[in-house]
Structure 1
Amino acid sequence: MVDLDTREWLLTNGLGSFASGTVADVRTRTYHGWLFAATNPPNGRTLLFSHLEASLEVSKKVVPLGTNIWGTGNIEPTGYKLLHSFDINPVPKWIWGEQDWQLSRQLIMPYGLETSHNSGNLQDSLVSHRLLIQYRYEGRETAILRLRLLIADRNFHSQQTQSSDLQFSQLLGYRQIYLQAMSNDGFGTPWRLRWTQGEYRADPVWYWNYEFPEETQRGLGDREDLFSPGYLTVILKPGDAVTLEARIGFPEQSIDSLTPDTFAEAVEAEQERLSQIGSWESGIKGQGGQAKNYTLSPLSPLFPPSTKTWQQLLKASDQFIVYRASIANPTVMAGYHWFNDWGRDTLIALPGLTLVTGRFELAKNLLQTFGRYCRHGLIPNTFPDTDTEPAYNCIDAALWWIETLGLYLEATQDWQFLAAQFSVVQQIHKAFIGGTRYNIQVDATDGLLGWDAPGVALTWMDAVVEGQPITPRSGKPVEINALWYSALCWMSQWAEHLSQLETGDKVRLANQGKRYAQQAQQVKTSLQKFWNPQLGYLYDTIDFDDRRNAQIRPNAVLAVSLHHCGFLPSQGRQILELATDRLLTPYGLRSLDPADPEYIGRCFGNSQKRDRAYHQGTVWTWLIGAFIRGWQRFLPEQPIPFSWQPLLDHLWHDACIGSISEIFDGEPPHYPRGAVAQAWSIAEVMRHI
């Protein structure tokens, strides 16, 4: 496999559906395929359409263009050897060829959410999941293109295996075929494939034992069987093209016709939609199209340089913003391919995805949605795949919600929204003071916030193996209390501001503001408990019995990066200087000092090995944002000791081309690991590049 280019590409449709594969056009993951349809947006992701196995007959010579890795270890056919070029802009495009012919293929997944013309509400939106494919031929003589259809009907986390219980029906129409799986569990998702020219022949056959080497390395299921209902034969003269469309759902009478221009029109429509991201018009218009009079804070630059890199970051950022049917509102996918929408990740990513791009109405919707789901003073960390109650299993999502609300208000001065959300702020404060789930409660003796519950991990360092947190941080974590301090400062500021408006009980709000300010001062004083003068750094946690964890982790950097910082300038400088020496890499911050005996420098292997390394030295790109904000606060006169070039090279040339990975190995050469496209990685780069 040394000559296989297994770098990846990704297409999404704003609903949770996606298409993904490799430059070499070989499937190396369970998550590679051309149509993973989110049947219950953004969940229910189901592989329906794996790929088309293509061959081209020229001068009576049949040339296979596909590439497959089989369970035997063989790679055949070897179409990748004829691959001349690959590009992701404006859409993924492959070009195969020999001396006397050339065949290109392009893919696009059109945006799947359309609001009705009479209403701007997402509740009235229409959704569609579809993929367009176009092949174009150039050569000296007429050629015959054969496209064999490979399909499935399985959850995106699993693999399909041939079984007598699994059958596929096919109904042939004019230049289209309707497909649906049938099993003992019932009927699968119906969908259809149609084309602009060619003759289809039913030829049902199973292809067994595809191998996914990336899953082999991850210790997961790595074999797949795919079903082929038949193949399409297309006669192509020089300059000819054939366009195909895969679309889920039952047959529709009113569907648009498929023409030779459909693909180009879809590309143009997508480019026009993307061009609106980050523009003033996009930022100031709500769903109903009414202009908003937002006032920008100088801390939230709306118009970064219009460079190719910035445009790619905008495009990548848009892939994470999806529609959730259960709440009829937008949400943010934490990463691709396998993550869902998570509260903590969404709130940390929100400033970069929305505020610096001027998507204020989106920011407002996201904050409003998570605020609406506040229970027991907690903001949910995950929404389940079914429409049941979210999971409230983190201590910091509520604090990130307040911090992000503050940044939104700084950028927009939207005090009406503050007035509407202030009851949520009060609910969080009351729950933390009085106590809530997982024994989360403020310690009355010092005002610090802590928690104590066995077998769970409630901070962002949340890996648990066999019921035991790998990075146990119960007690009083440093970044949680820095967030708590910042939250109290925001609350004091907001109560004072609201007391001056024409709404609410002015006296009560003014008194609340004073009380929040007093609590903030107590917490600021108590934050000094985290200072380790021998090390010149912050303790990572303080236990309830006052034991202190002196491990060098990036949580100290998070603690000095927030809008309100409770630490001294001299302390901030020492923290950043030590973090530069021990934690900083070209791709972000390590999660643990390499000199620590618990440090693990590579995050690979089966799930247990990966989980044990996840926060024990692994590099996290999103943390570079906190490092830069802290540096700009405490060391503004010194150049930031970080070059963007390695991350930009990664963006353009590595892993998932056009996006940024979730994590990297702690040890050089810092191989990218984890999800190949991560929301908060992109978002934090966008805040500071």
Structure 2
Amino acid sequence: MLDLDTREWLLTNGLGSFASGTLSDVRTRMYHGWLFAATNPPSGRTLLLSHLEASLELPKQVIALGTNFWGSGQIDPTGYELLRYFDINPVPKWVWGEDNWQITRQLVMPHGLGGGEGESGRGGDGVRFFSPPPVLPISPSFCHRLLIQYRYEGSDVAILRLRLLIGDRDFHSQQKATLGLQFSQLLGQGQVCLQAINSGQFGTPWHLRWTRGNYQPDAFWYWNYHLPEETRRGLSDREDLYSPGYLTVALMPGDAVTLEAKVGFPDKLQTVLTDDIFAEAIEAEQERLSHIFGWGEGARGMGKITTSIPNTQCPIPNAQYQIWQQLLRASDQFIVYRTSIAGPSVIAGYHWFNDYGRNILIALPGLTLVPQRFDLAKGLLETLGCYCRHGLIPNTLPDGESEPFYNSIDAALWWIETLGLYLEATQDWQFLAQQYPVVQQIYKAFIGGTRYNIQVDSTDGLIGWDARGVALTWMDAIVDGQPVTPRRGKPVEINALWYSALCWASRWAEILSEQEIVTEPSRLAKQAQRYSQQAQQVKASLQQFWNSQLGYLYDTIEPDDGRNFQVRPNAVIALSLAHCAFSAQQGQQILQRATDRLLTPYGLRTLDPSDRSYVGKYTGNSEQRDRSYHQGTVWSWLIGPYIRAWQRFHPNQALPFDWQPLLEHFLSDACLNSISEIFDGDEPHTPRGAIAQAWSVAELIRHIRS
């Protein structure tokens, strides 16, 4: 196992479907497979095609190219020993070989949204952002597919044998061979249609087709695959996969075979599959991204952005520009179309997260404003604004008939903060006029009181909340029904967001009072004055958080008026917002302690290591990991607030942060061309959690020029 490279790769299709695995081609997680199809975009992700087990037959030898972990502890076959090369750009590519032969495999997952209404929209983002419910348009067409291409070079004619390993299971589980689970297959010319039948229920139909070869039905189960990453996470770690048959392909030197796995029954009108389609799919994806980001056009200030990216060890021409392109490509992997809202959303992270309101809003500036995807930003803000209820923005968006889940005190405040950043970038006052009623709804609900006993304290103007068994801030881990970091009362960053929201509201009311697009300008002028007065009250009251002995901010003022003096990054968030209530001296002291106690090469720790509650490693079973989630674990996205705060309070000093480790992580660690969700608080700061996290990538994009 020491020779196995278990770093990971990821492909996505803009609908929530994905493919993922390791560089050595061995599956280590339940989330590794070649076609996880989002049957209800971006949800309902279902494993259909795990992989193709490949072997190459030469005149005097049979070579197994695959690698598998088994429950017995064996690694068999050991194809990784013949793996000579892997590259992630532009698509995952493996090369196996010896002196007299070489076989190359590439995978590409075409973007899945297109056709009919909703194929494209202004701004070239590849998604038309419809108005949210209750009025829904005709759904756009969806396509979930994966293209696979093998190419052979050698001195002899070879036989490539590809055995299908398939499933039909939710991506959060493992498949087990049972009497109730069967698979049907219907063989046609150059293709086979497959569908599971589980206890009388039909699964998702899909089909595989190929450019050359002969398919032989030969059905049986492979039992007891071992998934060591799930073992380390304290989860079920065994899987059974079904094989309906195999494809045999005769290859002359230089020959290729291309396969397509696609959700749905075969379409009689579909184009003929050729080897050229693979290269065309790569080209089409590059054109799509180029259209969005203006690559090669000198558009949108890209040259200015890329020239300031720090030097790296990446041995490629124009390395800085190519790294920037890879960052933007990584950001696009999180953008999805959600059917339940008929509009855009953002997957929080792969493999296992869905789209969450808070995460969308924190990630939005880096994902959309920096690359000037303003229509996308507008669509996201409009969607979340439409779901505002009782002054709250949902943290979980609805699937089908389900209801949104309003378990966040800060999503509504982040919505106002992010709306402000969008408006500063676009001067889109017409959109402000449309969204201003949402701003008023949030304001009135917080003033008058809303769910979870969220209410502004009339004595000091600060926001507090008091509800047991829930965690409403971003530190939201719950174990056995109890929050690990409860933070009931008045959390510091919540009230900093509240202050910034009042400042925004005052500015917006004043702007709208001067616009011809609104009525009753005098009423708006009075609102602007009221918001400004309340902002001044909150600014003064925020001094209650100042701990002069520690030179830091209390993390929470508790319901009994006690102070939580733990050193957490929430104080840094409070310094980083568009409007800040703290003095230069306070800000500098806070940043000094955060630099000394929280800053790492990959982000900020969530707790001072000297705190008795500190946990330095994010390991163990699910409960152990949840208990350490915000108790010292490093969160990469927090480097963004730290940089914004530093630039505010030390405008003429160099940033005490070296981009090199994080860039190297992006380029060559964990999941290539993405950023992990979290890292251990203790050195060497091993990456943990989701292998690709939206707000981690977004903050890197937002500040790489700093």
> Is the Cα–Cα contact under 8 Å of residues 340 and 398 in structure 2 kept in the other structure?
no
1:150 to 159, 165, 169: 165
- Indicate if the aligned counterparts of 2:84 and 2:97 stay in contact, CA closer than 8 A: yes
1:272 aligned partner? 287
Matching of residues 306-325 of structure 1 within 5 Å: 307-325=321-339
- Please tell me whether residue 474 in structure 1 is matched to residue 468 in structure 2: no
Partner of 2:346: 332
Write out aligned runs for 1:284-683 (5 A).
Answer: 303-305=305-307, 307-502=321-516, 503-683=518-698
For 1:468 and 1:282, the matched residues in 2 are separated by 53
More moved, 498-507 vs 31-40 = 498-507
CA contact (8 A) 1:383 1:390 kept: yes
TM-score (normalised: structure 2):
0.94
Q: Which residue of 1 aligns with 2:55?
A: 55
> C-alpha displacement at 1:472, in angstroms?
1.4
Q: Amino acid of the residue matched to residue 88 of structure 2?
A: I
Q: Find the aligned partners of 1:301 and 1:96 in 2 and give their Cα distance.
A: 38
Mapped partners of 2:447, 2:265: distance in 1: 53
Shift, 1:672, TM fit = 0.2
Q: 1:282: how far off?
A: 11
Report % sequence identity.
Answer: 71
**How big is the shift at 1:267?**
0.5
| SS of structure 2 residue aligned to 1:277 | helix
Question: Which amino acid in 1 is paired with 2:339?
Answer: A
Q: CA deviation at 1:283?
A: 13
Contact 1:279 1:357 in 2 (8 A): no
The question of whether the paired residues in 1 share the 8 Å contact of 2:640 and 2:702 is answered with yes
Quote how far apart the aligned CAs of 1:545 are: 2.2
Measured in 1, the distance between the counterparts of 2:78 and 2:617 equals 32
Q: Distance in 1 between matches of 2:382 and 2:303?
A: 23
Q: Structure 2 counterpart of 1:339, which letter? A: F
**Alignment partner of 1:100 is 2:114:** no
Query: Which of the numbers 212, 234, 240 marks the counterpart of 1:219?
Result: 234
Letter of the 2:169 partner, please give it. R
Paired letter, 1:327: I
Which whole-Å deviations, capped at 9, do the CAs of 1:510-545 have from their partners, x for residues lacking one? 000100000000000000000000000000000132
**Secondary structure in structure 1 of the residue aligned to 2:576:** coil
Q: CA deviation at 1:183?
A: 1.7
Comparing 108-117 and 13-22, the one that deviates more: 108-117
Structure 1 SS opposite 2:95: strand
Q: Distance in 1 between matches of 2:393 and 2:306?
A: 32
Shift of 1:276: 2.5
Letter in 2 for 1:15: L
Q: Do the aligned partners of 1:283 and 1:359 also contact (CA within 8 Å) in 2?
A: no
The one-letter code of the counterpart of 2:158 is A
Partners of 2:303 and 2:212 lie apart in 1 by 49
User: 2:519 & 2:610 partners in 1: Cα distance?
Assistant: 54
Per the alignment, do residues 186 and 463 of structure 1 end up closer, same or farther by CA in structure 2, a change over 3 Å counting? same
Aligned residue in 2 for 1:36:
36
Distance change (3 Å), C-alpha of 1:82 and 1:669: same
TM-score of the superposed pair, with normalisation by structure 1: 0.96
2:665 is paired with a residue whose SS is helix
Letter aligned with residue 390 of structure 2: H
1:140 pairs with 2:163: no
What is the root-mean-square deviation in Å for CA atoms of aligned residues? 1.7
What displacement does 1:278 show? 2.6
Number of residues of Structure 1 aligned to a counterpart in Structure 2 = 676
Provide the secondary structure at the position in 1 that maps to 2:71.
Answer: coil
Task: Specify whether residues 27 and 385 from structure 1 end up closer, same or farther in structure 2 by C-alpha distance, changes over 3 A only.
Answer: farther
- Aligned counterparts of 1:681 and 1:363: Cα–Cα separation in 2: 18
Distance 1:345 1:408 in 2: 16
Q: Is the 8 A contact 1:44 1:385 kept in 2?
A: no
Whether the 8 Å contact between 1:276 and 1:282 is mirrored in structure 2 is no
For residues 313-354 of structure 1, what are the alpha-carbon distances to aligned partners after superposition, in whole Å with 9 as ceiling and x for unaligned?
A: 101000000000111101000000000000000000000000
Inter-CA distance 74–384: structure 2 relative to 1 (3 Å threshold): farther
Deviation at 1:184, TM superposition (A): 1.4
Cα distance change on mapping 1:35 and 1:484 into 2, 3 Å: same
Distance change in 2, residues 1:620/1:283 (3 Å): farther
Q: Which amino acid aligns with 1:265?
A: E
Shift of 1:595: 0.3
Task: Write the distance in 2 (CA, Å) between the matches of 1:385 and 1:87.
Answer: 36
TM-superposed deviation, 1:429: 0.2
1:7 and 2:7 matched: yes
Q: Which amino acid aligns with 2:53?
A: E
**What SS does the corresponding residue of 2:159 show, helix, strand or coil?**
strand
Report the Cα distance in structure 2 between the residues aligned to 1:441 and 1:10, rounded to whole angstroms. Answer: 43
Work out whether residues 283 and 358 of structure 1, in 8 Å CA contact, stay in contact via their aligned partners in 2: no
Shift of 1:301: 11
Separation in 2, partners of 1:562, 1:11: 33
Superposed, which structure 2 residues align to 1:223-242 within 5 Å? 223-242=238-257
Shift in CA distance, 280/654, structure 1 to aligned 2, threshold 3 Å: closer
Contact map agreement 1:278 1:302 (CA 8 A) in 2: no
Shift of 1:388: 1.7
Shift of the alpha carbon at 1:194?
0.1
- For 2:166 and 2:175, the matched residues in 1 are separated by 10
State the secondary structure of the residue aligned to 1:307: helix
Q: Is the 8 A contact 1:302 1:356 kept in 2?
A: no
Residue correspondence of structure 1 range 87-236 to structure 2 within 5 A: 87-116=87-116, 120=121, 121=128, 123-124=137-138, 125-236=140-251
Q: What are structure 2's unaligned runs of at least 5 residues? A: 122-127, 130-136, 308-319
Aligned partners of 1:211, 1:40: CA distance in 2, in Å?
29
Partner of 1:293: none
Cα shift readout 1:629-649 (whole Å, capped 9, x = no counterpart): 000000112111100000011
Write the distance in 1 (CA, Å) between the matches of 2:447 and 2:475: 24
Structure 2 Cα separation of the partners of residues 609 and 315 of structure 1: 34
- Partner residue, 1:82: 82
Q: What is the letter of the counterpart of residue 627 of structure 1? A: Y
Provide the rounded CA distance (Å) in 2 between the counterparts of 1:16 and 1:238.
38
- CA distance in 2 between counterparts of 1:154 and 1:524 reads 52
Letter in 2 for 1:396: D
Structure 1, gaps ≥5 residues long = 285-295
Instruction: Return the offset for 1:504.
Output: 2.3
The range that moved more, 502-511 or 587-596, is: 502-511
Aligned-partner residue type, residue 105 of structure 1? R
